[in-house]
Amino acid sequence: MSEAHEVGLGLAARGVHVISVDYRRVPPWSPFRKPRPGVLPGVRFPVPLDDAIAAFKAVALSESASGQQSSRVALGGASAGACLAAAATWDLSKGRERPTSLILAYPTVHAQLPRMRPELTKKLRTFRGLWQFTPATVERMNRNYAGSLAAMTDPRAFPGGADLSHFPSTLILNAEYDSLRASGDAFASELALHNVPIENEYMPGTRHGFLNKPGTAGMIAGLDRIASWLLASPRSA
């Protein structure tokens, strides 16, 4: 996807050392079909998370073996990938090898979509077709990933609402017209309550997935902001 490949190329062109990794994905889901009860078969949580954590540890160990500062490894993702990045950070946050900074693009990190602010609700009502993710859609999407009702309450699946006190400096880039902004906004507030350095920003005029649209103003602005944030201090590489 451009959201991974083109983003990686774009950040590399801006001076950021990027390692883009793959992970096993859950089966396709339908926003109109309720998941089957019980434990869903196939690849589900925690398989994708375990892949992401293994990739991060491999990179951190490689940096350490080469004499580099392993703590200068950032972690990031977009949309559902942002949830994986945040969940991996939560899992790694108390260990020896952990990210020093975190970048989340239009993230969905809560099992249930948080209540939207009135300003966001008004924006979504103004533009037809922008209500991509209703609370019911988010619940079905997350249930498809979790694979069971028990996993829906596991912070390793959805870290929103968990203890975030060990999180590193975090940049959240939300789309202006996106119902999932409710999750990004809530997560930013939760991080702030735990005194985590957090910058929560909206990319003007964008919709969900703006980093998946090469050449557009929203993607270019998003890449510029991520690169400038990463390169502004030695917190990450």
User: Model confidence at 91, in pLDDT bands (50, 70, 90)?
Assistant: very high
Burial 48-74 (b: 16+ CB within 10 A, else e): bbebbbebbbebbeebeeeeeebbbbb
pLDDT-above-70 percentage for the chain? 92
CA separation, residue 131 to residues 22, 76, 126, 202 (Å) = 29, 25, 10, 17
Give the pair of three-digit tokens for residue 200: 């929560």
Residue 49 pLDDT exceeds 80: yes
In this prediction, residue 128 carries a pLDDT of: 56
- pLDDT tens for 184-212 read 999 999 999 999 999 999 999 999 999 99
The more confidently predicted of residues 36 and 133 is: 133
Say if residues 203 and 218 touch (Cβ distance below 8 Å).
Answer: yes
Residue 155 pLDDT exceeds 50: yes
- pLDDT tens for 10-43 read 999 999 999 999 899 999 988 778 778 899 999 9
Which domains, from first to last, does the chain contain?
A: 5-231 (3.40.50.1820)
Average pLDDT over all residues of the chain: 91
DSSP 111: S
Say if residues 75 and 85 touch (Cβ distance below 8 Å).
Answer: yes
User: Model confidence at 236, in pLDDT bands (50, 70, 90)?
Assistant: very low
In this prediction, residue 145 carries a pLDDT of: 97
